[in-house]
């Protein structure tokens, strides 16, 4: 439920209500707006004496939160959440659209430093690259791991880009968080609840990809796990879902972007690389994602896609990336945003 305070409620009056909420065994999440304060209360409502709360000074009303995901819902917070990433604190979720690009996997120091330079020059805000790779086959390249993280950190120093890299296990959350600016939780791990709780205990923004066959409600409940563990900095990333269709690697449902913008205040990115599986489709789906209202893109970009250790077929070249960003900028401007 949400307790809506009257405009002008003092700090002490808000604290009094928070104390009452605790007395009833609920967790409080106050949200201080410009006009009024609301207190979202999470927990078992059966023990709550609503009358007692309603009678407290300066309480306006109590309204139920209908969505099963509470803190992620626009019912609790109507203003869009902005999440600052990287050394330059670029805000994802604001007026400006942010593009994060880079290879699927960190393959070598030379590769990452070279791509980072191109990604920065194109006008992107973040560098992606997996140091720990969740591969379908145990015989495929599993990533450079800690060495890969060190290379990414060096690329951040050189470029100023935010480093986005995947964390695939609870045991490696600390080491990844030590090097990365944004912790990516991949599609395969969207429902790995102990991992969601572990990244929820860090202070790093989390990029949460949609599970390969997850519904939006399940995805937002996964985001809720992270927020409930103490980390409100969750960025959602639509990366396509598995359907019967096989001309694409995944089907990229761009209608999830307006749906998410309606149901959650969290920023939404689109990954047109995993969302299609084909490099030639990436520019068109990137343009469409920006037009649909995405806050940014996560794009795979490789200087030598033919020799990539993973996902070469869906990786665009630095040249294509450089040509794409000015086009995206024009689309952003046409819908009142910028890039
Ligand atoms: C990736 O970003 O390289 C990746 C493994 O993506 P996903 O989790 O969406 O499959
Ligand atoms: Mn990939």
Residues 329, 332, 333, CA angle at the centre, nearest 5°? Answer: 90
Q: What residue ranges define each of the domains in the chain, with the CATH number in brackets?
A: 2-63 (3.30.70.1140), 83-334 (3.20.20.70)
Centroid of ligand 1 to alpha carbon of 274 (angstroms): 7
Q: What is the pLDDT of residues 132-183, one digit of tens each?
A: 999 999 999 999 999 999 999 999 999 999 999 999 999 999 999 999 999 9
Res 223: pLDDT: 98
User: What is the DSSP-derived secondary structure letter of residue 196?
Assistant: H
List CB-based neighbours of ion ligand 2 within 5 Å: 104, 311
CB of 275 within 6 A of ligand 1: the answer is no
Closest ligand 1 atom to Cα of 128: 2
Considering all CA atoms of the chain, what is the largest pairwise distance in Å, rounded to the nearest integer?
68
Q: What is the pLDDT of residues 276-323, one digit of tens each?
A: 999 999 999 999 999 999 999 999 999 999 999 999 999 999 999 999
Closest ligand 1 atom to Cα of 310: 3
Percent of the chain with pLDDT over 70: 100
3 state DSSP class of 91 = strand
Cβ atoms 103, 300 nearer than 8 A: yes
């Amino acid at each position: 439920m949400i307790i809506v305070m009257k405009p002008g409620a003092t700090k002490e009056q808000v604290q009094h209500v928070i104390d009452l909420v605790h007395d009833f065994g609920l967790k409080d999440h106050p949200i201080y707006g410009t006009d009024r304060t609301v207190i979202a209360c999470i927990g078992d409502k059966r023990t709550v004496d609503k009358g007692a709360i309603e009678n407290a000074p300066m309480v306006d009303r109590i309204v139920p939160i209908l969505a099963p995901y509470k803190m992620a819902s626009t019912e609790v917070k109507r203003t869009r959440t902005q999440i600052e990433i990287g050394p330059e604190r670029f805000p994802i979720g604001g007026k400006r659209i942010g593009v994060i690009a880079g290879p699927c996997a960190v393959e070598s120091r030379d590769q990452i430093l070279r791509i980072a330079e191109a990604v920065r020059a194109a006008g992107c805000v973040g560098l992606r690259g997996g140091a720990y790779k969740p591969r379908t086959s145990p015989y495929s390249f599993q990533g450079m791991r800690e060495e890969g993280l060190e290379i990414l950190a060096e690329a951040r120093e050189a470029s100023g880009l935010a480093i986005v890299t995947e964390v695939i296990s609870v045991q490696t959350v600390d080491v990844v968080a030590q090097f990365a600016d944004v912790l990516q939780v991949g599609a395969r791990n969207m429902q790995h609840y102990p991992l969601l709780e572990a990244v929820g205990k860090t202070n790093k923004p989390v990029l949460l990809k949609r599970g390969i066959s997850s519904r939006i409600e399940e995805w937002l409940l996964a985001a809720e796990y992270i927020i409930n563990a103490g980390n409100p900095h969750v960025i959602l990333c639509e990366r396509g879902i598995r359907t019967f269709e096989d001309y694409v690697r995944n089907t990229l449902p761009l209608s999830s972007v307006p749906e998410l913008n309606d149901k959650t205040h969290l920023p939404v990115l689109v990954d047109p690389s995993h969302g299609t599986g084909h490099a030639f489709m990436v520019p068109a789906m990137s343009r469409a994602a920006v037009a649909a209202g995405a806050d940014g893109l996560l794009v795979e970009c490789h200087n030598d896609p033919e020799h990539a250790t993973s996902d070469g077929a869906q990786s665009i070249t630095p040249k294509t990336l450089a040509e794409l960003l000015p086009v995206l900028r024009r689309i952003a401007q046409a819908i009142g945003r910028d890039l």
